[in-house]
Amino acid sequence: MKRLIKKQVLIPILALTVLVGASSFKSDFFEIAKQIEIFTTLFKELNMNYVDETNPAELMDSAIKNMLGELDPYTQFLNEQDVESFKINNSGEYSGIGALVRSYENKLVVVEPYQGYAADKAGLKAGDEIIKIGETLVADFDDNAGELLKGANNSTVEVTFLRQGETKTATITREGVEVDAVPFYDMIDEKTGYIVLSRFNRKASKQTQSALQDLKGRGAERLVLDLRGNPGGLLSEAINVTNLFVPKGELIVTTKSKVKKFNQEYKTRNKPEDEDIPLVVLVNGKSASASEIVSGGLQDLDRAVIVGARSFGKGLVQRPLKLTYGTQLKVTISRYYTPSGRCIQSLDYWNRDEEGNAVRNTKFNEFTTRNGRKVWDGGGIMPDITIESLKTNTLIDALEANNIVFDFATDYYYDHNFDSVEDFNFSSADYSAFKSFAEEQNFSYRTRTEEVLEETINSDETLLGPEIQEKYKDLLLAVNRGKITALNTFQKEIQKNLEDEIITRYFYREGLYKYYLDHDDAILTAKELLADKDKYAEILK
């Protein structure tokens, strides 16, 4: 029996060795082969000799995830379900209930039902907590229970959920769901068009082009392209979207890698849709990857004015590599660089701090656009015009991470009624109610100041003495009190997030975008800028 197992183990070792040797004749070839052999023999001996029964699949899954966790968060192992989800994200089409859900240990929370799709038609609302799917309790399901909501067109699934403490059930008929890259476009005024580009799936450039053509047919002579909240997607679509506004043959992005075949230059290949229309691109801290390729490229070529807040800062490129049994490795293969030569990656995953966290870049290198304007690398795309209400900070991030805004919006929805988006008004009394709600949740977040003070207080440095130590403690208490005060200091930023979340509950995404046209700071700023030809031209000089 042992001899048979040995043969079964040695075969993949040899196969892996051949693959490694075929792909790279580097000096570390022996070290790679050595480590593979050590791990394989360890894995075999562990599973054969451990005191209790082991689950080889779970052990291997844990080993792979911990190994990849030492790299960057974008290098991931994709099982068969993950591969299917990856394809869906890129295609923008799937069959299911038509809702965005968030997974927890014992429940699924509906984050957003898509207007007109199955979950919406069945009456599900944002904030509903799904606890049972069919006969399966979510708490008893080991894998992602959200997969149970997917299924063939016209098949049904019964869900049991909690809403405001009351248990309800709904039968949902699954259907085909199309996720548009451009969920909304319209005219801001008689001469200014507005396009929301929410993701870079395979529909991105075609839908953006179609929207632009329609808006121009309706009189648009200038354009606002909204990339806020767009997490990215396909690199090819980022090039194609940029190509709508710049001539054929323009260099948009360069990728650099240790593997020569991944060193590439990506240029526009098509005739542009309109290379002259005045253009403003909106970004924020959730605009990442492909969004930064588009906004960075248009900024470097002086083709658009960037308005909003500093973008996320993801300058890393991934590619899926096929493995055995239908699995894949999504691996970071290169860094990308905008036309001016800057890489806007903001986090350094290869030089971490003492707690193992990626270090944020604080030293930026200066580059110049085609017209000689100064731009910088290392921290996302910095807008030409900053909108204060779009900025984020530790407090705002903590409110989101602890679902404070989301949960308040859920309660608010069931306590207030609005007949139309024009009637919506979030009053000062509403914000006071939010502050009380936030304090009651007792959510926590740590500022850098706190970390330094706590390190000092807990240090063994006897030179400080008890009196100085007490003063540090007083400072720490003052910082904690200041956290509550910060809800007032950053009211404008927080209230925008609240309004966005609440309006979506009543009027879906379409209603939110319509509200933006008359109330959003970034859009109003872009509209004013585009109407002032001299100011627009001056910024791009």
Residues classed as catalytic: 289, 300, 314
Closest listed residue to residue 193, CA positions, set 269, 231, 244, 236: 244
| β partners of residue 328 | 78, 322
How many helices (H) and strands (E) in the chain? 16, 23
Look up residue 15 and give its two tokens: 């196969």
| β partners of residue 195 | 185, 225
Closest listed residue to residue 223, CA positions, set 251, 261, 250, 196: 196
Mind giving me the DSSP string for 170-218? EEEE-EEEE--S--EEEEEETTEEEEE---BSTTHHHHHHHHHHHHHHT
Largest CA distance in the chain: 83
| β partners of residue 535 | none
Closest listed residue to residue 293, CA positions, set 274, 314, 277: 314
Look up residue 298 and give its two tokens: 């248009």
- The CB density around residue 2, as the number of other CB atoms within 10 Å, is 7
The torsion region of residue 372 among left (phi > 0), alpha (psi -120 to 50) and beta comes to: left
What pairing do the DSSP bridges indicate for beta strands 129-133 and 136-137?
antiparallel
What is the rounded CA–CA span in Å between residue 68 and residue 65? Answer: 5
Distances in Å between the Cα of 304 and the Cα atoms of 245, 297, 300, 307, 539 are 9, 9, 9, 9, 10
Q: Is 458 helix (H, G, I), strand (E, B) or coil?
A: coil
SS3 helix, strand, coil % of the chain, rounded to 5?
45, 20, 35
Long-range contacts of 471-475 (CB under 8 A, 24+ apart): none
Look up residue 491 and give its two tokens: 């009211």
What pairing do the DSSP bridges indicate for beta strands 192-196 and 184-189?
antiparallel
Which one-letter DSSP state was computed for residue 108? E
